[in-house]
C-alpha cells in the first residue's frame, strides 16, 4: 500500500472482489468473468466481452468508480489473474502459456517481466514481421510487370491506357513518372556455383 491505497484495483471493492457497473449494480468479480467467457475444448476461456482491437484481441473491461477516480480500463486476463490468483506486483506482466490473447483461464496465465513476455513471444515465433510485397507479387496489384513496361513505352494517352488496363489515369501518369510501382529486379544468378 502506498499512501493508504492498495495497488490492487480489486481491493477497492468492499466485501471482496466486486465490480460496479455504470455506478448502479455491484457484480462479483467471479461472476463478471464467468458471464463473459466461452470455454473451449483446449481449456482456454475465451473472453467474449470487449477487446482492445482486432489486431490485438486482448479482452478489456472497465473497473473502479467514477466517484473516487479509480475508474480505468484493464486487460481481462489481468483482471482474471487478480481475481483467481492474486495481485500483480509492480513491473510484472500477466503472460499466456496458451498464446491465446483472449484467454482468461487462470491456469493458462503466469507472471513474468515484460522482457520474459517478449522473450517468450520471440521463442515461439510470434514476432515475425508481416510479409513485404514488391512488384506483381502483391496480392492487390492490378498490373503485371510486363504491362507496366508496355504502358511506359506506349504512345497511348494516360486516359486511353487507363481505360485499356482498368486503372485510373492518374495511376498511369504516376507509373510513367516512376512515382508508382517499379517492376521487381530479376533474380540474381548465383554465378554457376553448386
- What's the full length of the chain, in residues? 194
Enter the C-alpha cell of residue 111.
Answer: 507472471
Cα 49 off chain centre by: 16
SS3 of residue 18 by DSSP = strand
Q: What is the pLDDT of residues 166-193, one digit of tens each?
A: 899 999 999 888 887 755 544 444 444 4
Domain ranges (residues) in the chain: 9-123, 135-177
Tell me: the pLDDT tens digits for 95-122? 999 989 999 999 999 999 999 988 988 8
CATH number of this structure's domain 9-123? 3.90.75
| pLDDT for the residue numbered 95 | 93
pLDDT confidence of residue 1: 36
Q: Is the pLDDT of residue 194 over 50?
A: no
CB-CB contact of 107 with 98 (8 Å): no
Q: CA 99, CA 45: separation in Å to the nearest integer? A: 12
Q: Return the C-alpha cell found at 15.
A: 466485501
pLDDT in tens, 14-63: 334 455 555 556 678 888 888 888 999 999 999 998 888 887 889 998 88
Amino acid at each position: 500500500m502506498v499512501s493508504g491505497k492498495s495497488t490492487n484495483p480489486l481491493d477497492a471493492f468492499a466485501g471482496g472482489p466486486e465490480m460496479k457497473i455504470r455506478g448502479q449494480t455491484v457484480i462479483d468479480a467471479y461472476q463478471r468473468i464467468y458471464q463473459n467467457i466461452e470455454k473451449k475444448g483446449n481449456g482456454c476461456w475465451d473472453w467474449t466481452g470487449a477487446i482492445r482491437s482486432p489486431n490485438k484481441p486482448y479482452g478489456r473491461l472497465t473497473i473502479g468508480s467514477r466517484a473516487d477516480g479509480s475508474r480505468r480500463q484493464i486487460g481481462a486476463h489481468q483482471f482474471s489473474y487478480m481475481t483467481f490468483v492474486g495481485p500483480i506486483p509492480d513491473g510484472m506482466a500477466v503472460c499466456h502459456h496458451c498464446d491465446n490473447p483472449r484467454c482468461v483461464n487462470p491456469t493458462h496465465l503466469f507472471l513474468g517481466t515484460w522482457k520474459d513476455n517478449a522473450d517468450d513471444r520471440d521463442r515461439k515465433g510470434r514476432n515475425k514481421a508481416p510479409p513485404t510485397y514488391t512488384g506483381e507479387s502483391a496480392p492487390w496489384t492490378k498490373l503485371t510487370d510486363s504491362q507496366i513496361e508496355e504502358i511506359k513505352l506506349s504512345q497511348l494517352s494516360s486516359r486511353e491506357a487507363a481505360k485499356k488496363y482498368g486503372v485510373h489515369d492518374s495511376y498511369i501518369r504516376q507509373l510513367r513518372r516512376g512515382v508508382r510501382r517499379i517492376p521487381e529486379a530479376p533474380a540474381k544468378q548465383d554465378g554457376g556455383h553448386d
